[in-house]
Amino acid sequence: MRHCRKSVFLSLLVFLLAAIAFSRSRAADPGLQFPARIDVDRYPSVALPGDTLTGNSAVSVDGPVREAMDAARSASGNPADEPLRLPLLVARRDPVKPADVPPPAAKKDRKSARPAAAATAESPAKPPLSAEMAALRDRVRAALATYFQQSLNTRDNNTADMLQVCLAYGCETEVVYGSDKLNGITCLCWNYPCGEYQPLMLLDGHIAARVGYGVQTEPAQLLSVLALSRVPVTYPARVGSKVGTVADLVEFEKRNCRAGIDQPFRLIGLAYYAAAKDSWKNDRGEPWNLERMVREELDRPDAESSVAGVNRLLGLGYAVARLSKTKGTAGDLGRAKKYLDDYRQFALGLQNSDGSWHPLFFAAVGASRNWEGTLLATAHIFEWLAISSSAEQLESSDMIRPLDYLTTLLTNQSSHWNAAALSAKDLDGVMHALHGLSVYDERVFKPHDAEKPKADAEKPAAAKDDAAK
């Protein structure tokens, strides 16, 4: 009997090892190719699913919902017969003023049409990248493309998971809803149940974001994701039959500002959606503005050994970058800028030689065998630095090392991550790493993408002959 059990156990072990070897051999198949960059025309972001879903009460497009869609389409300049799209940008960059936006060129192929906002993201061409940086760029984009295709689904993944993937890919995010693909931002703003958890609710008649297990884990996390994805404030949000806009979520977060608590996500959201000179009162009648929020974040104690410490730096960095353009760096904004500069030097001093950070974030230094913890810490710190660093700082070796480290860790077959099956903590690390890669790609690599002017090709034939002589 004992020999029989041993033989069964050995057989199962051999089968398991063979299955693992087979799966790795398929993953390492050189014939499996991913695009070097995401083709957004291939993955269009639409505001609502196809007509096959219009019978579902959760996505009905009649009555006030249709009116809200038409209003948003009108505000965005989309023709009535075009699908309502969201901007396809994932990195933080200040919107170009309407007066500076060139009129969109007429296109015959309707399938290739993109939002006008996408055209404004292009910057003047820069000199070609070095061979090493070009190779790193291709690896970064291959990693982004690989994980983009690992769509989460509303059956198995909850709202907290959807927030993570929407952070990484912004308005390009796609999730699986039944047998169809749905835009991730739409899934959140239109209150689709994700793992039986709905992101929004009605509170005293107002649209608000839920906080707790399965939904956003921190106040205003949803609003910060919308802000980092640059979702328009006029984009519709819905709970049941009540249709509002993202502006309703902004007002809800204004009313819930509190002194003495962590609110970096609220600072990010309001720094994007509220004007620098705005002031308001919370539901207790207390006066608030963005500068007070910055001061509150500065006066809180450091959380050096957890994600909360990096979130605080991210909120401060994002707010200072936006507010300093109109209000300068005097007073609390000056304090915050100096604090961020000092903390940046402190963080780089804790960086390991391979570009990683210790799982205890700023409370320890050195390498660790805890790959999940190392990924989490390195992803969050790199994301903060990618958003808040200057253009010159981004191209320093201190930034290239963690970029290379995260790209390698995400694409290494021995530690390959299946996004749809990750735990909440691991998904957090992977998606924040991908968001950092996206920001870096947008700020550093994409300005080099413009094609060189083909001057020789445009010369008349006679001029070419003269040049040949």
Q: What confidence score (pLDDT) does residue 9 get?
A: 63
Q: Judge whether 187 and 177 are in contact, CB under 8 Å.
A: yes
**Rounded-to-integer distance, Cα 88 and Cα 66, Å:** 23
Q: What confidence score (pLDDT) does residue 459 get?
A: 44
Q: In this structure, what token pair is assigned to residue 296?
A: 């509150």
Q: Judge whether 161 and 128 are in contact, CB under 8 Å.
A: no
Q: What confidence score (pLDDT) does residue 19 get?
A: 58
Side chain identity at residue 367, one-letter code: A
DSSP string, 32-57: ----SS--TTTS--BSS--GGGTTSG
Burial class for 27, CB neighbours closer than 10 Å (0-12, 13-18, 19+):
exposed
Q: Judge whether 80 and 73 are in contact, CB under 8 Å.
A: yes
Handedness of CA 42, 33, 410, 122 (dihedral sign): negative
CB < 8 Å & 24+ apart, contacts of 130-136: 133/400, 133/445, 136/400, 136/403, 136/404, 136/407
Q: Give the domain ranges of the chain.
A: 35-85+150-256
Q: Report the predicted TM-score, pTM, of the whole model to 2 decimal places.
A: 0.72
Instruction: Give how far Cα 81 sits from Cα of 63, 71, 74, Å.
Output: 18, 14, 11
Tell me what percent of the chain is helix, strand and coil, each rounded to the nearest 5.
55, 10, 40
Q: What confidence score (pLDDT) does residue 59 get?
A: 29
Mean pLDDT split into 10-residue runs, the chain, 469 residues: 59 63 40 29 31 28 41 48 35 33 33 32 66 95 93 93 96 90 94 93 92 93 96 94 94 94 95 90 95 92 86 94 81 91 94 95 90 94 95 94 95 71 90 96 90 46 44
Quickly count: other Cβ atoms within 10 Å of residue 262's Cβ. Answer: 18
Q: Judge whether 192 and 58 are in contact, CB under 8 Å.
A: yes
Element (DSSP H or E) covering residue 182 = strand 180-183
